[in-house]
Structure 1
Amino acid sequence: MRHIPSLPAVRVFEAAARHENFTKAAAELGMTQAAVSYQIRLLEERLGVALFRREKKKVVLTDAGRRTAGETSRAFDVLDAAFSALRAEDEGTLTVTTSYTFANTWFAWRLGAFQMTNPEMAVRMLTDDAIVDFAGSEVDVGVRTGQGDWPGLTSELLFRVDFTPMCSPEFLERHGGSLKPKELLDIPLIGPEDPWWAHWLREAGIDVAERPPRPGVRLGYQAHEGFAAMAGQGMAMLTPFFWRNDIAEGRLVRPFGQVSSRGWGYWLVYAEHRRLVPKIRRFREWLMAEVARDLKQLAASAPPPDQGMS
Structure 2
Amino acid sequence: MSDVLATLPLSAVRVFEAAARLGSFTRAAEELGMTQAAVSWQIKSLESRLGQSLFRRLPREVVLTPAGERLSRAATDAMSLLRTALSDLTETGKGVLAVTTLFTFANQWLSPRLGGFQLAHPDLALRLDTNPSLLDLAGGGLDLGVRAGDGRWPGLESTWLMPSIQTPLLAPALLERLGGLDSPSDLATAPRIGTDSEWAQWFGALGLGSGERRTRFTADTQIAEVASALSGQGVALANPILFARELADGRLVQPFETVVETSPGYWVAYPTERRRTPKIALFRDWLLAEAAADPAVQAYAAARPK
SS of the residue 1:216 aligns to = strand
Q: Deviations over 1:13-55 (max 9, x none)?
A: xxxxxxxxxxxxxxxxxxxxxxxxxxxxxxxxx9xxxxxxxxx
Aligned match of 1:245: 245
Aligned match of 2:229: 229
Q: Give the whole-Å Cα distance in 2 for the aligned partners of 1:130 and 1:263.
A: 16
Aligned match of 2:29: none
Q: Give the whole-Å Cα distance in 2 for the aligned partners of 1:169 and 1:178.
A: 11
Structure 1 residue 203: Cα displacement: 2.0
Structure 1 residue 150: Cα displacement: 0.2
SS of the residue 1:165 aligns to = strand
Is 2:110 the partner of 1:121?
no
The count of residues paired between Structure 1 and Structure 2 equals 221
SS of the residue 2:217 aligns to = coil
Q: Sequence identity, in percent?
A: 42
Q: Which runs of 5+ in 1 are unaligned?
A: 10-45, 47-82, 303-310
SS of the residue 1:256 aligns to = coil
Aligned match of 1:288: 288
Aligned match of 1:195: 197
Aligned match of 1:270: 270
Q: Give the whole-Å Cα distance in 1 for the aligned partners of 2:201 and 2:9.
A: 63
Structure 1 residue 253: Cα displacement: 0.7
Q: How does 1:91-102 map to 2 (within 5 A)?
A: 91-102=94-105
CA distance 1:291–1:194, shift in 2 (3 Å): farther
Question: Deviating runs (4+, > 6 A) in structure 1?
Answer: none
CA distance 1:137–1:90, shift in 2 (3 Å): farther
The answer (yes or no) to whether the contact 1:190–1:229 under 8 Å persists in 2 is yes
Q: Give the whole-Å Cα distance in 2 for the aligned partners of 1:180 and 1:261.
A: 20
Q: Which runs of 5+ in 2 are unaligned?
A: 1-7, 13-48, 50-85
Structure 1 residue 182: Cα displacement: 1.6
SS of the residue 1:177 aligns to = coil
Structure 1 residue 296: Cα displacement: 5.3
The answer (yes or no) to whether the contact 1:241–1:298 under 8 Å persists in 2 is no
Q: What is the TM-score with the length of structure 2 in the denominator?
A: 0.66
From 151, 155, 158, the counterpart of 1:155: 158
Q: Give the whole-Å Cα distance in 1 for the aligned partners of 2:170 and 2:267.
A: 27
Structure with bigger gyration radius: 1
Q: Give the whole-Å Cα distance in 1 for the aligned partners of 2:130 and 2:248.
A: 27
Q: Which moved more, 1:143-152 or 1:291-300?
A: 291-300
Structure 1 residue 179: Cα displacement: 3.5
